């Protein structure tokens, strides 16, 4: 499945004719039915595995782009292949190191970087992007590339443009409720990544996507980087990143929901680990769908922009360009090919290739 789909859906622009006329890619596209696009992840996993718990573990990969394994096309089962066979990597010094390395490359080429600069508007002249309004100044550029959440972008920086239909009524991915805990004890039974699954996985996704609310028996993900990097927490202590999926917030996730969710999470951890975790929490910081929206610009706190709950999701995701606009491009988790750090970097690679080709055409 990966060999058939990766070049088309991950490493190329779905929205360029050149992708579909490339002989190698066309060869793979002709095998599209082997991807079982009309069957859900869960259905195909049920044919591969016998045990419910194994099916549940592999269904989890739908949440890697904020989707529902009972609705998302089985093509997304390639995520498990990426993680188990190709490998997921831990950056030395944490996720921030990816940004540090990109910054080092930028400095090497003497490129100026402006931080703490709030862009308010992108200005156009006859459908050609010309400048940005930032810190009360208008700055002109030859090209403008946005990695802002595409839903936020149209509503705030591109107000003068007609909004595409799929942006007007986005079909959001999940958001998250995250507790950052400093724990004054070592838990030998935990590893780097830990998942405490819901007893009724299907119902949990019905709550997230149909009822748009937090489930009372959520699947709890606990990440303890201290297990991999001893300097991440003091001796004899641990740093816990405790996360549950929530729906995108449309005003329904208030303080009471968050309090109830915290109580349910703690009860679950206590039951599974046979502990009283509350007495071991020395420090707590909470990240909610509201704070995710506030600090990242992701509309409704949706972690991945749109979900991938239908066969057309990949095609409906906003392209890395817009045909009727010039000199503006789009990258990041809310546009093609999707969310998550590897796909965000793939998005930047696709966009850079499109820009190179556009510049060559312009200079011919």
pLDDT digits (tens, 9 = 90+) for 215-229: 999 999 999 999 988
User: What tokens were used for 350?
Assistant: 């696709």
Per-residue pLDDT, averaged over 76-99, amounts to 87
- Give the domains, in start order, of the chain with CATH numbers: 2-87 (no CATH), 107-170+309-363 (3.50.50.60), 175-296 (3.30.519)
DSSP state of 238: E
- The helix/strand/coil state of 44 is helix
Q: How far apart are CA 337 and CA 343, in angstroms?
A: 6
pLDDT higher than 90, residue 183: yes
Degrees, nearest 5: CA angle 42-39-49: 40
Write down the H helix ranges in 221-327.
255-273, 289-296, 313-316
Region of poorest pLDDT, from 200-204, 341-345, 348-352: 341-345
Region of poorest pLDDT, from 55-59, 128-132, 218-222, 316-320: 316-320
Per-residue pLDDT, averaged over 127-133, amounts to 96
Which pLDDT score, from 0 to 100, does residue 29 have? Answer: 64
Per-residue pLDDT, averaged over 304-328, amounts to 91
pLDDT higher than 80, residue 355: yes
**For the chain, counts of helices (H) and of strands (E):** 14, 10
Return the C-alpha torsion angle 341, 346, 347, 353, nearest 10. Answer: 150
Higher pLDDT, 143 or 29: 143
Higher pLDDT, 77 or 362: 77
- The helix/strand/coil state of 267 is helix
Higher pLDDT, 158 or 5: 158
Structure confidence by residue, pLDDT tens digits, 278-287 = 999 999 999 9
Residue 120: enclosing H or E segment and its boundaries?
strand 119-125
Cβ 287 vs Cβ 276: under 8 Å: no
Which pLDDT score, from 0 to 100, does residue 304 have? Answer: 92
pLDDT higher than 80, residue 262: yes
* Whole-structure pTM value: 0.90
Higher pLDDT, 139 or 313: 139
Q: Which single residue is written with the structure tokens 């400048």?
A: 131
How many Cβ atoms from other residues are within 10 Å of residue 189's Cβ?
Answer: 9
């Amino acid at each position: 499945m990966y060999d058939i789909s990766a070049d088309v859906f991950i490493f190329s622009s779905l929205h360029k004719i050149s992708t579909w006329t490339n002989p190698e890619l066309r060869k793979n596209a002709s095998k599209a039915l082997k991807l079982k696009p009309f069957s859900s992840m869960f259905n195909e996993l049920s044919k591969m595995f016998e045990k419910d718990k194994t099916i549940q573990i592999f269904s989890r990969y739908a949440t890697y782009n904020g989707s529902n394994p009972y609705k998302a096309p089985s093509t997304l089962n390639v995520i498990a292949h990426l993680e188990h066979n190709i490998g997921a990597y831990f950056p030395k010094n944490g996720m921030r190191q990816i940004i540090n390395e990109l910054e080092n490359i930028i400095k090497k080429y003497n490129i100026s970087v402006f931080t703490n600069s709030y862009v308010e508007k992108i200005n156009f002249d006859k459908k050609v992007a010309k400048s940005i309004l930032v810190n009360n100044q208008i700055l002109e550029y030859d090209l403008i590339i946005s990695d802002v959440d595409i839903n936020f972008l149209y509503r705030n920086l591109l107000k003068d443009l007609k909004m595409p239909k799929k942006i007007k009524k986005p079909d959001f991915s999940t958001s998250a409720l995250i507790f950052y805990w400093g724990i004054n004890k070592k838990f030998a039974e935990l590893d780097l990544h830990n998942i405490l699954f819901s007893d009724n996985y299907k119902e949990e996704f019905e709550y997230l996507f149909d009822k748009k609310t937090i489930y009372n028996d959520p699947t709890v993900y606990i990440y303890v980087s201290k297990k991999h990097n001893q300097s991440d927490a003091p001796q004899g202590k641990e740093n816990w990143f405790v996360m549950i999926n929530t729906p995108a917030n449309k005003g329904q996730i208030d303080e009471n929901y968050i309090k109830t969710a915290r109580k349910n999470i703690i009860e679950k951890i206590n039951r599974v680990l046979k502990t009283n975790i509350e007495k071991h929490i020395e420090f707590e910081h909470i990240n909610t769908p509201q704070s995710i929206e506030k600090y990242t610009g992701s509309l409704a706190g949706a972690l991945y922009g749109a979900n991938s709950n239908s066969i057309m999701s990949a095609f409906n995701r906003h392209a890395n360009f817009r045909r009727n606009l010039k000199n503006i491009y789009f990258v990041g988790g809310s546009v093609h090919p999707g969310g998550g750090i590897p796909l965000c970097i793939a998005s930047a690679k696709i966009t850079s290739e499109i820009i190179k080709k556009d510049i060559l055409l312009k200079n011919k």
